[in-house]
Chain A
Amino acid sequence: MENISRSVVKKDHAPKMSGRSIYVSDYQTAQSGERILTGKLLRSTLAHARVLGVDVPELPEGYFYVDARDVPGDNNVNIVLDDTPVFCRETVEYIGDPIAMLCGPDPDEVERLVKACRVRYEELEPVLDLAAGQEAFFDYRFGHGDVDAAFAAADKQYDETFETGYQDQTYLEPQGMMAEPEADGGMYVHGSMQCVYYVHGALPRVLACAPEKVHVFQDVTGGGFGGKEDYPSVLGCQVAVAARKCGAPVRCVLDRREDLACTSKRHPSLCRYRAAVKDGKVTALEIDVRFNAGGYSTLSAVVLQRGIIAAQGVYNIPNLRLRGRAIKTNTVPNGAYRGFGGPQTFFAVEMMMDHIARDLGVDALAFKEAHLVKKGDSTSTEGRYHFPVPLPGMIDQVDAACDLRKKRALYSQPQTGRYRRGIGTSLYFHGAGFTGSGERDLIKAVAKLRKYADGTVEVLAANGEIGQGLRTTFPKIVAQELGLPLEKVSYNHPDTARVPDSGPTVASRSLMVVGELLRRAAAKLKAQWRDGEEQEVEERFREPDFLIPFYLDKFSGDAYPTYSWGVNAIEVEVDTYTGKTKILGAYGSFDVGTPIDEKIVIGQMEGGFLQGIGYASIEKMAYDHTGRIRSNSFSDYLIPTAADVPNLKCMLYVEKYPEGPYGAKGAGELPLVGAPGAYVEAMEQALGGVSLHHAPFTAEDTMDTIVKEGL
């Protein structure tokens, strides 16, 4: 193991484990010593309606009603587009759409006032069906080769549709933000978030003030998983507008039910795949991807882009025609969740390959292997796989861990009895960093190191610790490069008043992109180190020379500089009496380049893999015919516990990325992406070779299949 990979005690371990960390809900008073007012949102109870008016109860002294009329600037939260209002405009677009915020000193009284508000609606027809939705926020098309010719020449054609459901991030700490008016007329906004500069970018427009008049701080954050990428901008603008009106600090922390029902989730998807096969090989794919965007566009553009770029999987398909749409529905806006569009399309393509193989009478894994991309091959967007593709070695690693090939053959034999077994595999990647030219054109990351006179060094960057370990791994990189003990290098939660914009904490980019800036900055600092002096160095992002420029309008070029790779195998045992599935083993080989702290990386792999297994099996969330999400509590929306996958084996396979710090690549999202394909493929085998088309595949679905198939 390399020195940098050796595990250390995380810098935030002691305060978190001892309960001393201060989360946004822990503050007793504002910075100024003032009492904090509680804000609570009045939310729409209808999926689509015109709001005719709100009958607000008489407000006691010191209580406030805040709505769109109180927004000093634009009533739009900047995310990708600007269609998400701070408080609703004339219409509400989903159940939970914020209409107003009630604020005041006593939380119980605020709650009573929210309940006493009467909203007068004129009901409008909601769009709830993803398949039938006509309005697309985004509609992308791209492809390569000659699809029509390939289909015309095909021996066989296939046409299947795959569906995936919601998944909620279920971070331990619910969403919460606080705004404090400052003496100089500025606004201090802080809370639970991933991206301080996203919130910072949204505020001036809403408050109609100069960017210098706001600053944003990330409090200790109890998990994000993507769920705190965009939503804190919305909630942050709401509390800031409220604080401006009240002239007092306002904090809004969602309760769990509100958080589950009203904040962004993984996009449900519907993917139609048509495949042409000639001489036992897939020669063309025609793919139609629909993501359920919800009521506003929020992050759907970028989630969809990542999803469709990955839609042909890890396979070399000479001819591709793809259309991807983010469909507007009158449901909660969906956004980022670990994997960011990838889990949906990788599920579809893995199942499609599996089904074609079965129809051709060949083993699915062998069929997939025959189509694998390799170094130098073209990507779906006619970029290049510039570095070795380690999948064959990773498949061997998984095979060695669980006898994959042998079990696959064994379980394909006819089975009888109460318990039936299956094993499934998935092969996938996660493009490391922002999609397309985002790093170069949009983010333009800047990171700094500040050396103090006493010889300690502080990392100045905007990336937030959300459990992934950045407060430890950033200092590790800097300490290694400077040859300092780790205690001499610190990294605190970012405050936009103190740190440069090194970009958002998203896209598995922080360590790979910002970590490398810090490594270079440290090398620079080392070269000019002067004892006893305060010094500062800065590094700016520059795009690697080898990249083929990416054009979003054509979807052409390198969408990612490099890729992290994954191979999963999941072995199941189905109880045909109860429909319950026991996971006998879940095996993952993950290539995230050099691990910057092995324990942290393995923790990420295990956690992400388990989240993926939950997504594939038990995490069921849906809305009813009125657009209401009913599974809005932890007794209805079940996520896996430690008791659910006792045999989880995660292995690392290192293919270094020369442009990442010490060879590291993106890690955080990868382990979630492949689980649904492997799990549902295993279920197909256990259920006697049926073809399945959706995830999650629950105990109810299993029993349904058992009854239908007479198993």
Chain B
Amino acid sequence: MVNGFAPATLQEALAIRAAQDVTPYAGGTDLMVENRRGVSYLFLSKIPELRQITVDDTCVRIGAAVTFTEALADERVPQIMRDALAGIAAPAIRNAGTFGGNLGNGSAKADSVLVEFALDAKLRLVSLSGERIVPVEQFYLGRKKLDLHSDELIAEILLPKTGWENYYYEKVGGRNALAISRVAFAGVLRMENDRIVDLSAAFGAVADTVLRLKDAEGMLIGKTVAEAKAAKEAFLSRYEQDLTLTRGRVSAEYRKAVCLRLLQAFLEKFGI
């Protein structure tokens, strides 16, 4: 017998979350498949506070129960994120699947989460006792392990309003729709005065969580395009050396070869 709670407000939802052993349920696209027995669900898809996309001075704030289809149609959502959303599953899944659910499922294959890593997104987590803002990479503690307390809910995803314009995104699945990523890559480059001031290169679906090698990224920061070009070989071989992939549905050799080529494609796109 499935027990369910369908609160009308976030406050009500948090009260139930604090008092009961419940599984937060937004679109249900993972949970319906799992079909666990004896679970009580906390249905979140109708809570207005979780259903909004807003913009403030620095951030685009996406409610945890916003669906992928809704975000895809919203031009305020960074294009790199919308590129990733367009490749998720198929329309029916995108109509139900949510940002909060993609995070809460804890998978390193979650396509929206990869972009959040690449953009250094932050999450707003709320409970009856208050809220905290956590960078997405700190939220992921390991495979299917999240820094989410048993009385907390994911409320919002905070994406930077700007700074993502120079990006490269690619998902490699086993087919063109309804495919779990075998490798997904999101890279962002920020230039100021002809110098690279920030670079992120995030790899999804290859390890327990999304993978970023911050030291390696630093190798190109502060450089001009010409200087970066000169350092490219060392940069790529660093990744070749340090990218450690877990075993997956397809071979690690394949996925590693693809990772390195996509990293290269990212650099090529910006003349490096």
Contact = CB atoms under 8 A, between A and B. Distances in A.
Interface stretch (A191-199, A348-356, A558-566, A637-645): A637-645
Given A577-B262, A577-B265, A578-B172, A707 B257 contact: yes
B249 interface: yes
B265 A700 contact: no
Nearest to B180: A635
Interface string A604-642: 000000000000001000000000000000011010111
A641 B174 contact: no
B251 A700 contact: yes
A707 B264 CA distance: 15
Given A641-B177, A644-B177, A577 B261 contact: yes
A179 B180 CA distance: 39
Contacts of B180: 635
A578 B262 contact: yes
B148 interface: no
Contacts of A576: 261
A578 B180 CA distance: 15
A707 B172 CA distance: 18
A618 B257 contact: no
Nearest to A583: B176
Nearest to A638: B174
B61 to A, nearest CB: 32
B261 A638 contact: no
B174 A699 contact: yes
Contacts of B176: 641, 643-644
Interface string A563-584: 0000000000000111110000
Most buried by A among B176, B264, B265: B176
Contacts of A703: 254, 257-258
Nearest to A646: B176
B19 interface: no
Nearest to A576: B261
Contact of B175 (A577, A644, A704, A707): A644
A272 B5 CA distance: 63
Nearest to B177: A643
B3 to A, nearest CB: 17
Interface string B234-272: 000000000000000111011001100110110000000
A582 to B, nearest CB: 8
Contacts of A706: 257
A638 B254 contact: no
Most buried by A among B90, B250, B254, B264: B254
Most buried by B among A576, A579, A706, A707: A579
Contacts of B177: 641-644
A152 to B, nearest CB: 45
A579 B173 CA distance: 11
A638 B177 CA distance: 10
A577 B265 CA distance: 8
Contacts of B251: 700
B254 A699 contact: yes
A16 interface: no
B178 interface: yes
Interface string A635-665: 1101011111000000000000000000000
13 contacts: A577-B261, A577-B262, A577-B264, A578-B261, A579-B254, A579-B257, A641-B175, A641-B176, A642-B177, A643-B175, A700-B254, A703-B254, A704-B254
Given A636-B249, A699-B254, 10 more contacts: A577-B261, A635-B180, A641-B90, A641-B175, A642-B177, A699-B182, A703-B254, A703-B258, A704-B253, A706-B257
Interface of A: 418, 576-580, 618, 635-636, 638, 640-644, 699-700, 703-704, 706-707
Q: Which 6 A-B pairs have the closest CB atoms?
A: A643-B177, A577-B261, A643-B176, A638-B174, A700-B254, A641-B177
